[in-house]
Amino acid sequence: MDDMNANFPDGLLGALAADAVSMPVHWYYDRSALVRDYGFVDRYLAPKSPHADSILWRSSYVPLNERGNILREQAQYWGQRGVHYHQFLAAGENTLNFQLALELFRMVREAGKYDPAVWLDHYIDFMLTPGKHRDTYLEEYHRGFFTNLARGKKPGACGVDDVHIGGLAQVPALISAVGAGHPGLIELVETHVSLTHKNRDVIRAAICLARIHAALAAGSPLRDAILEHASDSISAKKITKWITEEDGVVVGRILSPACYIQDAFPASLYLAWKYAGDFSGGIIANANVGGDNCHRGAVVGSLLGVANGVPARWSEGLVG
């Protein structure tokens, strides 16, 4: 990453680091295959092919016209077995949703304010411009958004009812750009997430994450902030029951490691709570339990980053 990362707030750096360390083992559900292919993941690694748990062969997307043509050169890999979702990324490189988070952060910082219409124009241009990124997989919300755009809908009306935790990927970037103490933070976060994710549970989780960040900025300890502002998702009673279990049991058997917000958000909060004083331990644990670890990283990495700072080995290894 360029030297601008020295000026990135720890909340954003933490999210980027958590995504990048998880990237090679993103969406591994067979942990024995994860260990066989990568060992214990405690550093940035490049993805390997084939991906043992890839279901990209079951995914399809056919653009209605050029306004929906977001796969471009990656389209040839869809429908094939074993294809790694992030096959062309380098060690320490971020997945698409977090590359977009960087775009958002830089845009807001340069403009000095957040404008949803300006962001939508930027998002559309980024996704439709060849060569802007090298990621193979594009989440459902991108496909839904650009299908609606191709049908002639206005950008502000193109969002879809998507229930995945990927909807939180840009939240730490927006908070980092405007500041966790911004008086209109909750409204900004709700507005932004609603542009692409018109799902009540995803929006509620985004607001919850913003409130925890605001509490941290006001001096609240991380564990207290989580229990105070995320009581609908996690509780001291549940944590007391779970804390004696291994991470792979809590995020794997008790809570699904998959991308659906109803389990993915509590799983993220649990890992942030358990590793409240250990940034590296938290993002490493998140990576090694597999599933949708990249997008859980938006929560785990950003909260642990704010609470502890981000060690240089993680920030210096990121690839822009």
Taking the C-alpha atoms of residue 306 and residue 293, their distance in angstroms, rounded to an integer, is 19
pLDDT at 145 over 90: yes
Domain presence at residue 320: no
Q: Do 257 and 292 meet the contact criterion of CB atoms below 8 Å apart?
A: yes
What are the respective helix, strand and coil percentages of the chain, to the nearest 5? 60, 0, 40
* Least confident segment among 6-15, 142-151, 189-198: 6-15
Q: If pLDDT is split at 50, 70 and 90, which confidence band does 4 have? A: very low
Per-residue pLDDT, averaged over 84-107, amounts to 98
pLDDT at 141 over 60: yes
Domain presence at residue 87: yes
Domain presence at residue 277: yes
Burial class (CB in 10 A: 0-12, 13-18, 19+), 95: buried
The domain that holds 75 is classified in CATH as 1.10.4080.10
Q: If pLDDT is split at 50, 70 and 90, which confidence band does 172 have? A: very high
Q: If pLDDT is split at 50, 70 and 90, which confidence band does 140 have? A: very high
Per-residue pLDDT, averaged over 281-303, amounts to 98
pLDDT at 252 over 50: yes
Per-residue pLDDT, averaged over 263-287, amounts to 98
Task: Look up the pTM and report it.
Answer: 0.97
Q: If pLDDT is split at 50, 70 and 90, which confidence band does 7 have? A: confident
Domain presence at residue 158: yes
Sign, Cα dihedral of 226, 232, 237, 240: negative
* Least confident segment among 7-11, 85-89, 280-284, 285-289: 7-11
Per-residue pLDDT, averaged over 72-100, amounts to 97
Helices (H), 23-60: 31-38
90: DSSP letter: P
pLDDT at 6 over 80: no
pLDDT at 317 over 50: yes
Query: What is the tally of structural domains in the chain?
Result: 1
134, β-bridge pairs: none
Pick the residue with more confidence: 1 or 240? Answer: 240
Domain presence at residue 48: yes
- The domain containing residue 83 runs over which residues? 3-315
pLDDT at 5 over 60: no
Per-residue pLDDT, averaged over 302-318, amounts to 97
pLDDT at 290 over 60: yes
Per-residue pLDDT, averaged over 258-286, amounts to 98
Domain presence at residue 71: yes
pLDDT at 320 over 70: no
